[in-house]
Amino acid sequence: MSGYWAGILTILAINIIFAYGIFLPVASGQLNLGGAGFQATGAYAAAFIATQFGLGTVLTVASGTLIAGLLGWLMAYPMLRTKGVYLVLATFAFAEVVSGIVLNSEKLGGPTGLSVPNFIDWYVPVIAAAVVAIGVFYLMSTRFGLNMRACHDDDVVTDLMGVNVRGVKVAAFALGAALAGFAGALYAHAFNYVEIQTFGAMVSIYVLLYVLLGGTQTPWGPIVGAIFFTILPEAIRPVLPLIKKAIIQVFGPIVPATPPDDSWRFVILGLCTIIMMALRPEGLVTSAMIERLRSGRHEPIKTRDFPA
């Protein structure tokens, strides 16, 4: 396999794991815009432990995952006192705090970053993404997964039914933070270098889009969203020269217009995102779609006649 496709598969696998880290809180009714902070925590924890103590990849990745999960568990209690847009702002502020701490820490490399030993090849993140996906599918089919769904739909009624709503949300937030840290630790070893600019605010926004536009009703949503938004910018790259030729043919070479360069991939990606939000506000994959695919046909809703 070429280095280009190995890199694409590595990024795709890490994005899928990261997307599931955001999916779990969203599935319980929490919008987490601080995913980059937890991913950076896992990445820098793995990098620091690997460079300072010389531990193997398994131990450093596990350490980064546990540290991010523990931090998510600790941060969940104060953060979950807020709701709606205030929760979004609180999680976003957390990511900025993590970024500020790293930038001002010499032991963590500051703005220059850290070199990471123990390289892992592309198949390691791919296998990890498959295991995480299977685990999330199983988790969502358990009683805990049903409780998460119930908290998402109506936490007041769920509380009246005897479910510990706060405990479910804290657990979902902590598990999501651990998965985000896992993705960061894999990133650190896959690319042998970490710098805080990689885990900026746009990363949190992108991964939340993976989940929201992929679909929050089923675990298939994060996979579809991550694949779509990771592969689409690369698929658009060969189209850019054709767009340039079309502009020249329509307007002529005299018009002083800058032809589309590589950055225009993200402009086209943004347009596709707007179109998807307009046409599929519930996401690309919904529970109804999965049921239709399983049954193989669209069955009408059956009604029951009651006596007058």
pLDDT in tens, 197-216: 999 888 998 899 889 888 88
Q: How far is CA 85 from CA 6, 46, 82, 88, 185, in A?
A: 38, 32, 8, 5, 29
Furthest C-alpha separation in the chain = 78
Residue range of the domain that includes 59: 3-212
Exposure string over 87-115, b if 16+ CB within 10 A, otherwise e = bbebbbebbeebbeebeeeeebbeeebbe
For residues 207 and 261, state if they share a domain.
no
What does the H/E/C string look like for 116-142? CCCCCCCHHHHHHHHHHHHHHHHHHHC
Beta strands (DSSP E) in the chain are: 114-115, 193-194
What's the whole-number mean pLDDT along residues 264-281? 75
CA 206 to chain centre: 7
Cβ-based neighbour number of residue 4 at 10 Å: 9
Which helix (H) or strand (E) is 151 found in, with range? helix 143-153
pTM (2 d.p.): 0.87
What's the CA gap between 75 and 92, in Å, rounded?
12
The predicted-structure confidence for 90-144, as pLDDT tens digits, reads as follows: 999 999 999 999 999 989 999 899 999 889 999 999 999 999 999 999 999 999 9
pLDDT beyond 90 at 257 = no
Residue 271 lies in a domain: yes
pLDDT of residue 186: 97
Is there a single domain that holds both residue 239 and residue 173? no
Decide: 22 and 213 in contact? Cβ < 8 Å: no
CA distance 244 to 259: 6
CA dist 285 → 139, 275, 295 (Å): 19, 15, 16
Q: Mean pLDDT for the chain? A: 86
CB burial class (10 A; 0-12, 13-18, 19+) of residue 25?
buried
- 200 and 280 in a single domain? The answer is no
The predicted structure's pLDDT at residue 207? 92
**Pair 37, 143 in one domain:** yes
| Residue ending a domain, choose from 212, 247, 265 | 212
What is the C-alpha to C-alpha distance for residues 187 and 219, in angstroms, rounded to an integer? 22
pLDDT tens by residue, 20-69: 999 999 999 888 899 999 999 999 999 999 999 989 999 999 999 999 99
Specify the pLDDT at position 220.
92
**The pLDDT of residue 238 is above 80:** no
Give how many domains the chain has, as a whole number.
2
pLDDT surpasses 80 at 287? no
149 and 246 assigned to the same domain: no
Between 233 and 209, whose confidence is greater? 209
28-32, 252-256, 268-272, 295-299: the lowest-pLDDT one: 252-256
- The verdict on residue 37 lying in a domain is yes
Q: Note the pLDDT of residue 306.
A: 39
Categorize the per-residue pLDDT at 294 as very low, low, confident or very high, splitting at 50, 70 and 90: confident
